[in-house]
Structure 1
Amino acid sequence: MGSSSTTFLLFLLSLATLTLSQLNDVYFQHDCSDTSGNYTANRPYETNLNTIISRFATLTDFNYGFFNLSAGQSPDKVYSIALCRGDTNQDACNTCLNYTATELKQFCSRNKAATAWSQFCLVRYANRDLYGQLENDPRTCAFNPMNASNPDQFNQTLNELLNELSAEAAAGGPLRKYAAGNATVGSSQTVYATMQCTPDMDEQNCSTCLNFAINEYQSCCSTRLGCRVLRPNCVLRFETNQFYNQTAVPLPSPPPSPTTSPSPTASFSPTSPPTSMASLEFPAFGFVFALFLTLSSMLLLN
């Protein structure tokens, strides 16, 4: 083989290596559950799990980044909950979910239940329904090894910010429970944070999960310049650099409120919408006016 061919081949190999390395998410964390049992290779449970994983790459309904999926029939039915960060668009969300679920299955081969967190998403699957279940485990914490130069002031500012974001995220509706914001520490440093729950959590459960996350941050990475607290139903993250997009994908506007309200004592048939006063008055006026024109014409003819 000539030198030019060898050089070109080495170039392709280096390019392939670079591409593969870029696919590795340095934020990837996972947990393989040993309490839910194992499945046998090439049996219905694995088939159902593969079905769910394959759907992540081809999801057409964005659903604001939250998915509750299942495949198969009991006793081999697989359930999955997946969540993308609130500022993530559909393409990035699909890519993250597909990558995370695929990696999770490889790391937790044969485990019926497993959880993984990536930079932009969370994926869980199990042999039981996960929807609406507030759970304490699995959980983990990862932090920046650098400490704040003014730890007391940093922690006070951060705690105030996290409490505000926790209330905002918990009050989010059934489509998305996500909040992002920043605060200034002293005169020069800014801390950025996001907090998010899976939307199947009601306000109380979301608040509970985020409060647990705040307590974990205080014991795991207090005074650190960055931290991620990862739980089954919620995620907390803060950094001293802006790691999130300033604007999240907009949610649909609420339906407009009616201009008139029915009397509290009024009742309506389920199949008949309430009628406004305007629709009652104008047809009656039109009828009288038409009758007046008719009578006038008859008088003129006579």
Structure 2
Amino acid sequence: MGSSSTTFLLFLLSLATLTLSQLNDVYFQHDCSDTSGNYTANSPYETNLNTIISRFATLTDFNYGFFNLSAGQSPDKVYSIALCRGDTNQDACNTCLNYTATELKQFCSRNKAATAWSQFCLVRYANRDLYGQLENDPRTCAFNPMNASNPDQFNQTLNELLNELSAEAAAGGPLRKYAAGNATVGSSQTVYATMQCTPDMDEQNCSTCLNFAINEYQSRCSTRLGCRVLRPNCVLRFETNQFYNQTAVPLPSPPPSPTTSPSPTASFSPTSPPTSMASLEFPAFGFVFALFLTLSSMLLLN
């Protein structure tokens, strides 16, 4: 079996431990930058990019789900930032990063810069340093097509929850900026949400990014029963089913305050709307199970 099929099978095996509701939201969203130029096949840039991708397959340090990598020398140096969802363990994180980085290169072949948001992780690479840079693009939204039956009450409860989680995530330390929680709407409905920034963002920039994400949800997903806002430095998601794990890998005691300069504060407004798409959710259980059986059979035949 080819290496890509083996990688995908490992990805499916990691999904086997998830609940049905989590399986139902398997997704992969990507953006290929048209403004950063292209590389040629077998060039030094592609060699460096392949080095980055191979590192995702051999990571031994969990680093609490955040990675800042580079390979090569200018002008062919490749920079990459990757982030795993705050409730994932090391195995799920590594599997997601390996699969997502490999698929991203396939989808964005020859693009020097690209971004992908997958089920449990975010992967970016470019021909410039990405660390500490608050950026407005690329970004997108994915929403549930169903609307709340009590939109005013739903939105009020959700806005209060998101504001609380935004403050909690932004106040996180240099290892993780993640918050998850839920709130009751009326007497019978519960809304669940997560918010997360890449830890290279300081508190101000993380808060800025998450506030933009909240604004985008309000303008693009208002009254929807579920939505994802995906940005380069942060992500927001809410659903009416619990899609995240209750516990995350515990962090160590807070380290001393870093002596490095804070990330530069960006000043911009989201003047152009993000790419929007209908809900990416689908009945993935049968789909994943069928693929699992197919790939398992292929392994047995080889």
The alignment's TM-score, normalised by the length of structure 1, stands at 0.77
Q: CA deviation at 1:45?
A: 0.4
3-state DSSP of counterpart to 1:195: strand
Contact 2:212 2:270 in 1 (8 A): no
Distance in 1, Cα, partners of 2:194 & 2:140: 17
- Change in 2 beyond 3 A, CA 1:184/1:113: same
Deviations 1:124-150 (A, max 9, x none): 000000000000000000000000110
Higher relative contact order (CA 8 A, sep 6+): 2
Q: Who is 1:201 aligned against? A: 201
Deviates more, 1:249-258 or 1:212-221: 249-258
Distance in 2, Cα, partners of 1:288 & 1:159: 34
- Change in 2 beyond 3 A, CA 1:160/1:254: same
3-state DSSP of counterpart to 2:19: helix
Q: CA deviation at 1:65?
A: 0.1
Contact 2:142 2:276 in 1 (8 A): no
Distance in 2, Cα, partners of 1:97 & 1:296: 22
Q: CA deviation at 1:14?
A: 20
Deviations 1:197-253 (A, max 9, x none): 000000000000000000000111111000000000000000000000001110002
Q: Who is 1:300 aligned against? A: 300
Q: CA deviation at 1:26?
A: 3.6
Give the greater-gyration-radius structure (CA).
1
- Change in 2 beyond 3 A, CA 1:46/1:23: farther
- Change in 2 beyond 3 A, CA 1:81/1:149: same
3-state DSSP of counterpart to 1:141: strand
3-state DSSP of counterpart to 1:49: helix
- Change in 2 beyond 3 A, CA 1:7/1:285: closer
Deviations 1:76-112 (A, max 9, x none): 0000000000000000000000111111001100000
- Change in 2 beyond 3 A, CA 1:280/1:299: same
Q: What RMSD in Å do the two structures reach over aligned CA positions?
A: 24.8
Distance in 2, Cα, partners of 1:106 & 1:296: 23
Q: CA deviation at 1:27?
A: 1.4
- Change in 2 beyond 3 A, CA 1:116/1:264: closer
Deviations 1:226-284 (A, max 9, x none): 00000000000000000000011100024799999999999999999999999999999
Q: Which runs of 5 or more residues in structure 1 are unaligned?
A: none
Contact 2:140 2:274 in 1 (8 A): no
- Change in 2 beyond 3 A, CA 1:299/1:152: closer
Distance in 1, Cα, partners of 2:181 & 2:191: 9
Q: Which runs of 5 or more residues in structure 2 are unaligned?
A: none
Distance in 1, Cα, partners of 2:292 & 2:38: 85
Deviates more, 1:187-196 or 1:269-278: 269-278
Contact 1:25 1:118 in 2 (8 A): no
- Change in 2 beyond 3 A, CA 1:167/1:98: same
- Change in 2 beyond 3 A, CA 1:186/1:37: same
Q: CA deviation at 1:60?
A: 0.5
3-state DSSP of counterpart to 1:241: coil
Contact 1:34 1:111 in 2 (8 A): yes
Q: Who is 2:221 aligned against? A: 221
Q: Which runs of 4+ in 1 moved over 3 A?
A: 1-26, 254-302
3-state DSSP of counterpart to 2:168: helix
Give me the identity figure in percent: 99
Distance in 2, Cα, partners of 1:89 & 1:53: 20
Q: CA deviation at 1:57?
A: 1.3
Distance in 1, Cα, partners of 2:259 & 2:20: 58
The alignment's TM-score, normalised by the length of structure 2, stands at 0.77
Deviates more, 1:171-180 or 1:22-31: 22-31
Distance in 1, Cα, partners of 2:45 & 2:72: 8
3-state DSSP of counterpart to 1:260: coil
3-state DSSP of counterpart to 1:280: coil
- Change in 2 beyond 3 A, CA 1:102/1:19: farther
Q: Who is 1:264 aligned against? A: 264
Q: CA deviation at 1:58?
A: 1.0
Deviations 1:154-190 (A, max 9, x none): 0000000000000000000000000000000000000
- Change in 2 beyond 3 A, CA 1:40/1:290: closer
- Change in 2 beyond 3 A, CA 1:296/1:264: farther
